[in-house]
Amino acid sequence: MAEKTTETPLESADAQETPKQPKKPAKKAAKKHDNRSPLSKLRSYTPLLVVLVCAIAFVANVPLGNISSFGWEAISAICPVGSLSVFLASKVFVPRILISLVIAVVLILLFGRAFCSWICTVPLVQKMLNIRSISIEDQRKDAKMRERKSRKKNTNKKASTEVNTVAEDADSAVSVALSQEERAEISQQMAQVANSHACALHSPKKWDSRHVVLGGSLLSAAIFGFPVFCLVCPIGLSFATVYLVLRLFTGQVSWALVVVPVMLLAELLIFRKWCYKICPVSALMSLISFGNKTFVPHINKDKCIETTKGKTCSRCNTVCPEGINLHDYSAGKFGINDCIKCRRCVDACPTKAITMPFLPPKDE
């Protein structure tokens, strides 16, 4: 296990570039997935599990709902964007909506944006569409592939000239590296790719386009009298698709079976960075998460390579899909309130310095 935990994208990248270095057997790459802790492995199945439970409930006629409003009768966790929208649209005070909103806020205060990596169906659909917006590891793999291809093409191009392009977007990380001497430069780039996907800016924005979409949706709901965003929300659409398919078995066919999935796919394909640029659910959760103090990734300064040896490691930052810098929140693309509790940083840390304790440790 110890051997596997040290396998990170950064390192395997180095391995690719410097075949002469003594290396572990190639098998290791295949085993790479094993370096995740059981909890992280579980995370890749939970969204599917949620869909399955909701589908079974639908077939069995149990009104459990889906993640737009999950629960029983008056007690449910309604999506907070939904409950705010319908409140503003109807201008009616409904006690059970308030209860649901309180439940949602408490859950977010407890778990932050964990919804995004543990429950939400959108990353699932994105994965099926091969949209790599949430996983930086995947982007890095992509980058490496292209790198290898392009290396064959333009063998003489200087790597350093491309650093800027790389910084713009990990997707364009076609930088080329040739020889041993340039190894340093490659690591630079990999670090850049890592940071840059995440941090074109060096301090997290207080608000971004997601928050504007949130505000626009709520305003629109209030003006036009219906929850505008709910009609196009990809989370709702993905469940609607599941339900439509299930209804086929009882012979209920409708044009919606075409319209709903097409809307869902169009949204996610056109806005490939849905989660980072548009999703008002994430915007609202990130705002409430300013008050989240539990399960916050915490670096044990006695174990971290950067703090103990004063050397650069940055792997936690590299793997973070939100570009959060755990050493200095203000240096990441997003602040810690946007942490989706995915545990990638926990798994990536070579010295296991990162934990996600229930309460922040009082040592500092």
Contacts (CB under 8 A) with another protein, residues 126-165: none
* 254 binds another protein per the rule CB under 8 A: yes
Instruction: For residue 312, give both structure tokens.
Output: 């650069």
| Cα 137 from Cα 115, distance rounded (Å) | 20
| Cα 332 from Cα 325, distance rounded (Å) | 5
* 269 binds another protein per the rule CB under 8 A: no
For residue 212, the minimal CB distance to ligand SF4 (Å) is: 15
The single residue among 47, 123, 236, 323 that binds another protein, judged by CB under 8 A, is: 236
Alpha helices (H) in the chain, listed in sequence order: 2-5, 9-17, 27-30, 38-43, 46-59, 80-90, 95-111, 114-118, 122-128, 136-153, 163-168, 183-198, 209-224, 228-232, 234-248, 256-270, 280-288, 305-309, 315-319, 344-348
Segment interacting with another protein, rule: CB under 8 A, options 104-112, 212-220, 291-299, 333-341: 212-220
The single residue among 148, 158, 202, 293 that binds another protein, judged by CB under 8 A, is: 202
The single residue among 36, 144, 298, 341 that binds ligand SF4, judged by CB under 6 A, is: 341
The single residue among 313, 340, 349, 353 that binds ligand SF4, judged by CB under 6 A, is: 340
Report residue 69: phi and psi, to 5°. -160, 100
| Cα 20 from Cα 35, distance rounded (Å) | 25
| Cα 315 from Cα 313, distance rounded (Å) | 6
Q: Give the list of residues 6+ apart from residue 321 with CB closer than 8 angstroms, or none.
A: 117, 134, 135, 136, 340, 342, 344
* 223 binds another protein per the rule CB under 8 A: yes
364 binds, among another protein, ligand SF4, none (CB under 5 to 8 A by kind): none
| Cα 125 from Cα 269, distance rounded (Å) | 10
Contacts (CB under 8 A) with another protein, residues 300-319: 305, 309, 311-314
* 84 binds ligand SF4 per the rule CB under 6 A: no
Q: Are 166 and 193 spatial neighbours (Cβ–Cβ below 8 Å)?
A: yes
Contacts (CB under 6 A) with ligand SF4, residues 104-143: 115-116, 120, 122-123
Which residue, 87 or 118, is less far from another protein as judged by CB?
87
* 297 binds ligand SF4 per the rule CB under 6 A: yes
The single residue among 9, 112, 123, 227 that binds another protein, judged by CB under 8 A, is: 227
* 11 binds another protein per the rule CB under 8 A: yes
**Residues that bind ligand SF4 in the complex, under the rule CB under 6 A:** 115-116, 120, 122-123, 274-275, 279, 281-282, 297, 319-322, 324, 326, 339-345
